[in-house]
Structure formats: C-alpha cells, structure tokens
Amino acid sequence: MQALWMVLGAFFFATMGVAVKYASASFSTFELVFYRGLISIAFLALILRGRGIGLKTPVPYMHAWRSIIGGASLTAWFYAIAYLPLATAMTLNYMSGIWVSAFIVGGAILYGKTDRQGPLLATVLLGFAGVVLTLRPTIDQNQLFAGLIGLLSGMSASLAYLQVTALARAGEPEGRTVFYFAVGTAVTGLVGILFTGFTPPEQIHWQAAAWLLPIGVLASLGQWCMTRAYSRGHTLVVASLQYSGIVFASLYSLVLFGDQIPLYGWLGITLIVGSGVAATFLRERAIPNTPAEEH
C-alpha cells in the first residue's frame, strides 16, 4: 500500500503542470523556475526543521551537480509545458526512465557486455516509436522546437535520476536531497533572469500570479510523496506507478485546455507508458532499490 504514495505524487506533479501552464501567461520560464525553487525552499525548510533533519552535508559537490542537471531538466520541462499540450510535455519528460535504460544498454555495449541486453534495447526502441506517434499528431510545425526541448528535459532528468541514486548510496537523507535541489532550482532560475529580466509589474495578471504559490507547494508535495513511496514501498511497483502522471496530465489536457489528442497520440502515449513500465522491470536487475528523479 505504501507504493500508492507514488500515484499521489504523480497527481501533484501533473497538477503542478496545470499551474505552470496558467502562470506562463505572465511569467517567463526562468521566473517560474525561480519562484518554484524559492517557495519550495521555505516550505521544505519548515518540514525539515520539524523532522529534525540538519542541512549540513558531507557531499556538497554531489548536491551541486545534481542541482545543475535537475535545474536544466526542470527549466526544459517548464518551457515544454508552456508551449506544448500538457499531456505531450508530461509524456516527453517521463521518458527519463527510458533514457536511463538507454544509458544502461550503451554502457553494457561499451564494456562488451551485450548478452541479455536485447529486451532492454527493445523497450528503448518502443519508447522512441511512442514519441514519434505522440509528437506527429499533437505538435504543430511551430512547436517542433518545444518538442525537442521536451525530449531534452527527459534526458537530463535521467541523468539527475542517476545522481540521486549516488546520493542515496552516500547516505544522504531524502529530505536534504530534495531541499538542496530546491536551492539549485532557485539559483538556476535567478541566473536565467539575469539575462532575460523580470516581467514588468504592469504586464503581470493577478490570475497568473496566484498560481505561483501552488507551483512551489505542489512540487514539494510531489517530491515528498515520491520519496516516501520509494523509501517504504516496493521499488518495482513504485516505479511502474510513476507513469500514472501521464494519465492525469492527459485528462487535464482534455478537460481544462481542450487539447484534442487523436488516436495516434493515445497510441503513442500508451507505447511510452508500456515501454517505461517494461524498462523498469528490466532495469530493476541492474539498479535495485533506486529512488526516482525529482521535479
């Protein structure tokens, strides 16, 4: 039953995607990343203090590298959400599990360990087939760049996945890892704002500004649910339930934004979810008991 925390976490992340899409009407991608990190820092600091978890870490450079990769992934994901149908942006970001499988296959081939890699490679190819089907019917010609950014968000998230695994093996508490990721997120957004600037106050609509607080809170709740699921539930079941976020996002796209997803689009999403679940089963043999990436 503890694994069901992942479903709740996926719901929070999908709902955060809705908030990002509404807030993007008045704020740039870097501003959204900055405010998301800033609000999460305050929210998580209260939680960590209540749980008696200190902020001092013996591995600051590992947190820094994880924050750089995760910040890049988050920025790319927020950009994709702003310019793509929500379901499409979520699907491309959730390809992170498939990218990890691709890295595993590539590493095995590099070291000459090609035996039993066929099934894992098949899931990677199946996932790419799903991407082609998803992008072709749901992305207009002027959205191709956003689609590429969405793909990169999933790839960079997979690298963050591997770094979170390394932090867990180093004995870092999950709450501390989540907190420093929020710090890195705020810094990433602030650096971007130095080049793009803040949105002038007269151009900000209060309806968009009202979504900033939910973005930070929902992101923190999603991360907390996810880490709880991985720490208390069965890793294989939790990782499979992670893909429920695509279902939530698809429903939001239909109900709130009127994004019509044709049959080919649904088939593509189904292939990506199916290949992700299959890759999780196969990856379990290579990377047991690993936490998931955090948004």
pLDDT tens figures, 77-94: 999 998 888 878 888 887
Closest among 252, 226, 221, 250 to 239, alpha carbons compared: 226
Confidence of residue 7 (pLDDT cuts 50, 70, 90): confident
pLDDT band at 211 (very low <50, low <70, confident <90, very high): very high
Averaged pLDDT for residues 177-194: 93
Nearest alpha carbon to residue 278 among 88, 124, 62: 124
Mean pLDDT of the region 126-144: 72
Asked if residue 81 lies in contact with residue 21, where contact means CB atoms within 8 angstroms, the answer is yes
Distance of CA 146 to the CA centre of its chain: 16
Least reliable range by pLDDT among 177-191, 226-240, 265-279: 226-240
Band (21; pLDDT cuts 50, 70, 90): very high
Most distant CA pair in the chain, distance: 61
- The predicted pLDDT at position 155 comes to 87
Higher-confidence position of 81 and 102:
81
Per the CB < 8 A criterion, the answer to whether 280 and 127 are in contact is no
- Neighbour-count burial for 173-205, b at 16+ CB within 10 Å, e otherwise: bbbbbbbbbbbbbbbbbeebbeeeeeeeeeebe
Distance CA 233, CA 8 (A): 13
Residue 287 has pLDDT above 90, yes or no: no
Q: Could you read off the pLDDT of 55-81 as tens digits, one per residue?
A: 999 999 998 998 899 899 999 999 999
DSSP codes, the chain: -GGGHHHHHHHHHHHHHHHHHHHTTTS-HHHHHHHHHHHHHHHHHHHHHHHT-----S-HHHHHHHHHHHHHHHHHHHHHHHHS-HHHHHHHHTTHHHHHHHHHHHHHHHTT--TT-HHHHHHHHHHHHHHHHHHHHH--GGGHHHHHHHHHHHHHHHHHHHHHHHHHHTT--HHHHHHHHHHHHHHHHHHHHHHH-PPPGGG--HHHHTTHHHHHHHHHHHHHHHHHHHHHS-HHHHHHHTTHHHHHHHHHHHHHS-----HHHHHHHHHHHHHHHHHHHHHTTTSTTPPPP--
> What's the whole-model pTM score?
0.80
pLDDT average, residue stretch 121-145 = 72
